[in-house]
């Protein structure tokens, strides 16, 4: 398509149309099915079969979209006008198969490949973390194995639960087995809470990942964190996965396996923003189970803001091209 | 448009795509902006400025759409396949002006007239009941003054609140003043709860309306109610307005001015179904303030079902043409 | 006081001052400490020490007052203008001693005697049912032993719990022991749910009470119920106690010992209204534990309406003097 | 074991130990692993992978146990002292495999067979309805194919969802295919809500089941319903399955696929009690998803009472042996 | 009035009368209508028409009063006995007109002028922030234009929303236009979240305000913040406005336009306390929309404490006179 | 018992049996009544009569147990495998007498003495703080007077409330009067919020306690806090009491007397962990009133983690013996 005539998709203007009017799409961006003309797109993955404690992340995309009506366009901290810089649409949800994590991983991969091939940066809205296996298959198919920047309370490299190998605590081990990840280029941070055994943190390190516990991360200044990440990822294609449970349960109660004493939101946002300049190939924000939110739906609001910071990173990377 | 080539809009198949996947539109019907090819359409009116007790009906359309994912197609009680019979879309929300009920009434009327002119039966999702004034202006413009079938705990014919004349307790008086209604062809039913004075029920009767209190209505068999309605409406164009507060608060807590001891849902649905055959020109379901629902969101679910019964009436009327 | 110059206390006009403005008093009636000029008065008893399952009725008076902003003046079913007929104030709360049911009973009695002596009909807002012992002491002191009209899921004539004799399941046995009640003039109705033993219904009958289980009551027409009550109470002074748990938990979840399959509100209100004409000496509505309500606070709204029906009965009795 | 020396398991006495003390077992009955000495037992099946809308029934057994502290012993309506008549324990939960409905069905069957062989009547606490396939395998293995008495909003005989054949809407079709059921001896009642097609009610009838829609059922007197059931089941072994969604969502919001306008609890309990005398071989109560309850947890309370009515039926059948 | 005989209004003693007894007034202070004898007074402004996202602040005064029962008298951090130092009453609510922000501003101004003229320091309880225009009119009438100390996530100097100029995001622009404010003596702090454009922070600065974003504020020690404020306000009359949304949504979910990553309460309270010594002429605490709180009502509790810190500042200023 | 053959009690393996299966005991440890073979034990004290604001802590033990299913075994921060190091059981609840704090204190003491004599470290789950008097009687009987490490928003040394001397704000004064405590060996920390008078902090200091307000505590590094505690406690037997209200209400809304601006969980956990090495004789975690939690039940989750950190301290002390 001739770029000059490409459509520019952006949210409805909340100073004209009240922000609570209209069908709930991400940030009130247009709901599109045609992939042309998009720089980035929200895409829901409402799957939660593979969760070991509280279910409900199937309604995560709905809740994040509903909360995202509060988003505006200018990111003051990063100095970027998100929706002027980027053409952003909402591609709706990927078809998934409840009760069948293995089949769903395939569906996710198939759905994402054309999006990536169209040059669109996806911001996937989850959904339990098992979905990242399907995502990584698509990224690896288009970009080759990728570096992983993970903010999460759990490293998610366990082998299986009750014999089930496709589960929300196992995706990165499966991805490693499938050759989708570059562990030595990856940084996993935010791990905390009780573990099954001392081995739980040693094992990802043996696999090649850098692992920063939440208490280690908390003591780093954002720039220090950013330096470590930049050093690790180098020039590899990088994927950013944000599990909402990296945040303290007071700010993000609506998640499947909350762990006490997590990051505060302003800390987490500062870590995200510190990575400005890295040309991420894609993003996800996972494990939002909205029924566990109170009426204020603050978890969903935070997740929507994380997605918006992702778009800000994407906009900045575009500007610096 | 050549009818044979008109599109048929219907919900995604929940046996293929799980019902919680996809952007939230009414009953998972397509989100459309082109008016051609539609028999009926859901349309949101997220306005709640004009409410005298609990606000929040601005989020009514969102909640009804979210709950409507549970709807299926075959109405066993009425023997009609709703979405096979009708081409149904979701037209999104009408632009409204918060804080300005008078201006909003105009916006609603302007938005609905082309829908009616296109031969589409609207099912408006509210929103506080003040919105019905804008609706009635559109209906009267297209069809002339209309008969009103109202199920509501309140007759909504008060004159003003604190000097405000455009309010959720006054729309039918305003409509009468504007010549939009045929009171002698109308039936208001379900009134209950304390009143400001004995005059509150006498006045609508003096205006020409038939008024059935909730306790009177409760003693009628559905067919008796239907007979009264049919007798009154005759061959006038008929509009059906359903205020969710006609239902008992246990089943519909999420509303602005709940009144105890209301109808039970199976009673209300039987009254609606009893009117099969009347060719209603349009419908609304109002006063759903979802933040007052519990986590089960049962009010919104009930409202979605009322809208679906409305579509069923519309489908039957179409079949009998 | 010269009656012609007595103040008339009534609610603020909700058509002038929105109903959610002002300090929360019962029905927005004036908060008064002077007993002169009142026909009836709401009075809170925020005590809940003596509850055997869920606590929280100490916040019952607050919640009933908050919900009571929705009340209006004209009772259509009974044909009476409540607040024009009666001068009604809110006397605030009686001082109670948490953790000490025995002492609290004395405090309640002392506080109520002057109210009764001033000719005021109290509508006590509870609070757990143990409070009725203190109430009955006051009534008996002023009127002699009284007949009891009770709507309740439990007969509350157990002897003790874990050795505690002043408890919310024991007040009527204590009252009987103290000679405060006329069992042969009393009707207890609404009993249901599992019992400790078959004896639990036999015992109140042996004490002289008439006992109607909920299933028996449900089959009576209101007039039949009224006839039984009138026959029993004769010319005795009559006290009306309404435990909110007589209502089904869907309509009244906010209570300490809910029992499934209770009365529906329109049934209960019809039973109350059927007693119009009986010159009750006082009323209470107990066991509202608002933290167990959902956001709609429907239990408190129902309790406020029950109190309002009590005032209606009082107004009618006044008119017929 | 010599019966005279068999232990008698019954709840702690709530008049001695307050009902909210102690580990949460069903009705405060002892938690036992030894099968000897039991007449009946509660047993949890915390599985919810196979649900098509709202998940969370995995926490059903926990919530029913928590609510069951309110149960007492004497069933006044049926005239039986449940826990004096029966020795009842809580066997804890059956091991299940989240994400794997097929494997779980096998685990359920294996766990139940020894319980049945020990002559114990299970009351299974669910859990989504897919679990009933495993239950029926156990019953069929011990008793041969069984008659089914079902109270449910859905007939659950669909073939598959998104290709998944082991799902909460398919168990009775699977059971029929496996020869576990006697359709011509079975009665399915309570069906309501929209359907995928007109076929949805015809198909179970073609399979041989008697199907009563909710509106049909509502018009029957309990004795009429009981007569139909008795006629159908004859002398076959009978299993009673109660899906909480047969009840109206106001009384049972906490379920996965609520349908508006359901039975009222007092209606449902009357239907259950009407079957006194039938020697059921076992029971389940399914689809309680407690996170969708409000703070009053009324769905769980109702489910606990349904289980208690089941025990009452069991106790009466024992007495009449 | 002769000061020695002036009444001293203070809360009921919670060690004598349990804190949950009595009509809900601010901090259990007496409800007064006579202005004499008061040093400070709580006054509610239950208006929320002018809110751009979630409504419900009309119930803010009720909720703050309900939560304020937890307040005690001695402020340990500031070393002042609030209710011994000050005579404090609750003046109830100002009459407002729902649906009409312009008229309401006039009503607020008219109601506050006599309070200010009586030398009483108001602590206004909101209500949406549009109300501050009416407040500022009163302050300017009595004191001349005032300096503003604002803690808020938003600068609230937008021009209009959908053509509405009297809205909760516009009051300080309107006030500036009306000459009620001294921008060069004012400090706005706490701004964060996405903006409509880069201009949104530049504009208030061009108007003369000092603007500190939340991230800038967070890095200041309280004394540094206090120094900046003191320098700006000089000897001007100063008004303190606290929008609860300056606080992180985890601590204050119950507000209309929450923004993630706000101040923590102990940070905000330290900033408030750092201003001890400044003789503020009045205070408000706005945008509490209690229906968005969870059952713990923590937003309202925090707002009540902010009001109490305001009274502490007032008491200290009085002592230092 | 021969130690080599003692049973080792530990939780079910959540990688085999999903963590939401099974009867709810603390951390899924076995429910035991026999005291032999245990190193430590959870024990519930469901008493809440003696609470001055919000009741409901009677359901604290239930909620903490329910939340504790999320606990795992390896404490990474302290480097200890809790459930491999210790044999841990759940002893159920202590029998208490609602409405009678004095009698309950005796029951608690009687129940705990044999546990302590068996060498078991109790982790008591409350319950309002009045329960600690009974606990301290048992500790003093077995160990002599003990040092107290208290984290709490309140010092709980008031004398009486409304004449009631056994209340949740008075236990440490009663304990001192009974000679159960060593005040000069004790550290009370976390006090904040308004006080009844300046005396409220002076008085515990006069009694000999060291008192650190929350703001003082917040400025200490964990090691500084630990040094102070170690210095004070010396070689005395030490009891650790943790009132959940020491935590900010955003993280712990579910408590009876919340105070704003409390500790953050990661701060509190660091203070607890800093005390590793001190051989505490026992622990409690009190004032969890779960009905005030939102659906995420984050207060109960935090309390379960505090209990788990206590077990970690116990395990480390055991290792270092």
Q: Do D70 and C53 touch (CB under 8 A)?
A: yes
Q: Do C196 and D74 touch (CB under 8 A)?
A: yes
ipTM above 0.85, yes or no: yes
Q: Does B32 or E318 have the greater pLDDT score?
A: B32
pLDDT of E319: 75
One DSSP character per residue, B83-110 reads: HHHS-EEEEEE----TT-HHHHHHHHHH
Q: How many domains does chain C have?
A: 1
Residue pair A32/A90 in contact by the 8 Å Cβ criterion: yes
SS (H, E, C) chain F: CCHHHCCCCCCCCCCCCCCCCCCCCHHHCCECCCCCCCCEEEEEECCCCCCCCCCCHHHHHHHHHHHHHHCCCEECCCCEEHHHHCCEEEEEECCCCCCCHHHHHHHHHHHHHHHHHCCCEEEEEECCCCHHHHHHHHHHHHHCCEEEEEECCCCCCCCCECCECCCCCCHHHHHHHCCCECHHHCEEEEECCCECCCHHHHHHHHHCCEEEEHHHHHCCCHHHHHHHHHHHHCCCCEEEEEEHHHECCCCCCCCCCCCCCCECHHHHHHHHHCCCCCCCCEEEEECCCHHHCCCCCHHHHHHHHHHHHHHHHHHHHHHCC
The residue ranges of chain A whose pLDDT is under 50 are: 1-3
pLDDT of B142: 98
Mean pLDDT of the region D12-28: 93
Sorted by sequence, the CB contacts under 8 Å of residue E308 that are 6+ apart come out as E27, E68, E71, E75, E82, F194
pLDDT of E321: 57
Of F20, F23, F58, the CB nearest to D20: F58
Of F18, F70, F296, the CB nearest to A254: F296
DSSP run (H or E) holding A223: helix A222-233
Residue pair E319/E80 in contact by the 8 Å Cβ criterion: yes
* pLDDT tens digits, E101-142: 999 999 999 999 999 999 999 999 999 999 999 999 999 999
pLDDT of D299: 98
Residue pair D89/D31 in contact by the 8 Å Cβ criterion: yes
Q: At what angle do helices B298-319 and B60-67 cross, to 10 degrees?
A: 70
Q: Do F193 and E266 touch (CB under 8 A)?
A: no
pLDDT of E4: 54
Given a cut of 70, whether residue B2 has pLDDT beyond it is no
Q: Do F21 and D31 touch (CB under 8 A)?
A: no
* pLDDT tens digits, B199-246: 899 999 999 999 999 999 999 999 999 999 999 999 999 999 999 999
The fraction of chain D above a pLDDT of 90, given in percent, is: 91
* pLDDT tens digits, A99-142: 999 999 999 999 999 999 999 999 999 999 999 999 999 999 99
Backbone angles phi, psi at C270, to 5 degrees: -65, -40
Q: Give C266 to chain B, closest Cα distance, Å.
A: 5
pLDDT of F2: 47
Residue E317 CB-density burial (10 A; 0-12 exposed, 13-18 middle, 19+ buried): middle
* pLDDT tens digits, C261-304: 999 999 999 999 999 999 999 999 999 999 999 999 999 999 99
pLDDT of E5: 62
Give the chain D residue nearest F46 (alpha carbons): D21
Q: Tell me the H-state helices in E97-221.
A: 101-117, 132-143, 171-177, 199-207, 214-218
Of D53, D197, D264, the CB nearest to B20: D53
Q: Give C104 to chain E, closest Cα distance, Å.
A: 12
Q: Tell me the H-state helices in B118-152.
A: 131-143
Given a cut of 60, whether residue F218 has pLDDT beyond it is yes
* pLDDT tens digits, D57-78: 999 999 999 999 999 999 999 9
Q: Do D97 and A162 touch (CB under 8 A)?
A: yes
pLDDT of C302: 98
Give the whole-angstrom CA distance, residue F272 versus residue F277.
11
Residue pair D19/D70 in contact by the 8 Å Cβ criterion: yes
pLDDT of D56: 98
One DSSP character per residue, B194-243 reads: -BSSTHHHHHHHHHT-EEEEHHHHHHS-HHHHHHHHHHHHTTS-EEEEEE
Give the whole-angstrom CA distance, residue F51 versus residue F131.
11
The encoded tokens of residue B159 equal 């004159």
Looking at every residue in chain C, the average pLDDT score rounds to 95
pLDDT of F5: 62
Of C72, C79, C294, the CB nearest to B253: C294
Sorted by sequence, the CB contacts under 8 Å of residue D179 that are 6+ apart come out as D140, D145
pLDDT of A320: 66
pLDDT of A318: 78
Given a cut of 70, whether residue B176 has pLDDT beyond it is yes
Specify the residue for token string 């529906």.
C264
* pLDDT tens digits, A141-187: 999 999 999 999 999 999 999 988 999 999 999 999 999 999 999 99
Given a cut of 70, whether residue C320 has pLDDT beyond it is no
Give the whole-angstrom CA distance, residue E135 versus residue E132.
5
pTM of the model: 0.97
pLDDT of B218: 96
* D contacts of A57 (beta carbons < 8 Å): none
Q: How confident is the model at residue B1 (pLDDT cuts 50, 70, 90)?
A: very low
Q: Do C163 and F97 touch (CB under 8 A)?
A: yes
Q: Do C75 and B248 touch (CB under 8 A)?
A: no
Tell me the count of B-C CB pairs closer than 8 A: 98
Of E200, E250, E294, the CB nearest to A295: E294
Q: By C-alpha distance, which of E183, E180, E182 is closest to E112?
A: E180
Of E201, E262, E292, the CB nearest to A296: E292
Give the chain C residue nearest B253 (alpha carbons): C296
pLDDT of C1: 40
| Domain around F252 | 3-319
Residue pair F222/F265 in contact by the 8 Å Cβ criterion: no
* Virtual torsion, Cα B109, B111, B116, B117, nearest 10 deg: 110
Residue pair B153/B76 in contact by the 8 Å Cβ criterion: no
Tell me which residues of chain C have a C-beta less than 8 Å from any C-beta of chain D: 52-53, 158, 160-162, 192-198, 200-201, 213-215, 218, 248-251, 253-254, 257-262, 264, 291-294
Beta-sheet pairing, E74-75 with E80-81 = antiparallel
CATH number for the domain spanning F227: value is: 3.40.800.10
Q: Does B173 or C12 have the greater pLDDT score?
A: B173
Q: How confident is the model at residue D5 (pLDDT cuts 50, 70, 90)?
A: low
Give the whole-angstrom CA distance, residue D51 versus residue B14.
13
Q: Do C302 and B52 touch (CB under 8 A)?
A: no
Q: Do B158 and C75 touch (CB under 8 A)?
A: no
Q: Do C95 and E295 touch (CB under 8 A)?
A: no
Tell me which residues of chain B have a C-beta less than 8 Å from any C-beta of chain A: 17-18, 20-25, 31, 44, 46, 58-59, 62, 65-66, 90, 92-98, 291, 295
Mutate to test the interface with E, among C13, C14, C23 (most CBs of E within 10 A): C23
Residue pair A210/A232 in contact by the 8 Å Cβ criterion: yes
pLDDT of E2: 46
* F contacts of D96 (beta carbons < 8 Å): 18, 21
Q: Do E291 and C291 touch (CB under 8 A)?
A: no
Looking at every residue in chain D, the average pLDDT score rounds to 95
First vs last C-alpha separation in chain C: 19
The encoded tokens of residue D198 equal 């007109």
Q: Do E46 and C20 touch (CB under 8 A)?
A: yes
Q: Give A236 to chain D, closest Cα distance, Å.
A: 34
* Virtual torsion, Cα F217, F220, F225, F231, nearest 10 deg: -110
DSSP classification of residue C53 = S
Residue pair E39/E121 in contact by the 8 Å Cβ criterion: yes
């Amino acid at each position: 398509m001739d770029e000059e005539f490409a459509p520019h998709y952006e949210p409805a203007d909340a100073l004209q149309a009240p922000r609570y009017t209209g069908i709930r799409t991400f940030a009130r961006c247009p709901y599109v099915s045609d992939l042309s003309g998009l720089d980035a797109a929200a895409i829901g993955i409402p799957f939660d079969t593979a969760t070991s404690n509280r279910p409900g992340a199937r309604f995560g995309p709905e809740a994040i979209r509903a909360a995202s009506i509060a988003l505006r366009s200018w990111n003051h901290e990063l100095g970027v006008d998100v929706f002027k810089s980027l053409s952003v649409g909402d591609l709706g949800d990927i078809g998934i198969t409840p009760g069948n994590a293995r089949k769903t991983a395939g569906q996710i991969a198939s759905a994402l490949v054309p999006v990536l091939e169209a040059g669109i940066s996806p911001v996937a809205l989850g959904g339990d973390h098992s979905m990242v296996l399907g995502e990584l298959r698509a990224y690896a198919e288009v970009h080759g194995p990728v570096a992983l920047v993970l903010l999460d309370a759990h490293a998610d490299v366990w082998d299986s639960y009750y014999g089930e190998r496709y589960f929300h605590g196992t995706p990165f081990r499966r991805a490693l087995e499938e050759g989708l990840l570059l562990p030595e280029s990856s940084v996993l941070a935010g791990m905390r809470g009780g573990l099954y055994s001392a081995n739980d943190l040693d094992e990802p390190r043996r696999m090649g990942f850098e692992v920063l516990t939440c208490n280690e991360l908390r003591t780093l200044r954002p720039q220090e964190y950013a330096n470590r990440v930049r050093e690790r990822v180098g020039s590899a294609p990088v994927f950013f996965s944000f599990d909402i449970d990296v945040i303290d349960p007071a700010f993000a109660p609506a998640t499947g396996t909350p762990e006490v004493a997590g990051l505060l939101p302003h800390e987490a946002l500062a870590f995200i923003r510190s990575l400005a300049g890295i040309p991420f190939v894609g993003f996800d924000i996972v494990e939002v189970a909205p029924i566990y939110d109170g009426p204020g739906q603050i978890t969903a609001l935070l997740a929507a803001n994380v997605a918006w910071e992702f778009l800000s990173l994407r906009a900045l990377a575009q500007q610096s091209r």
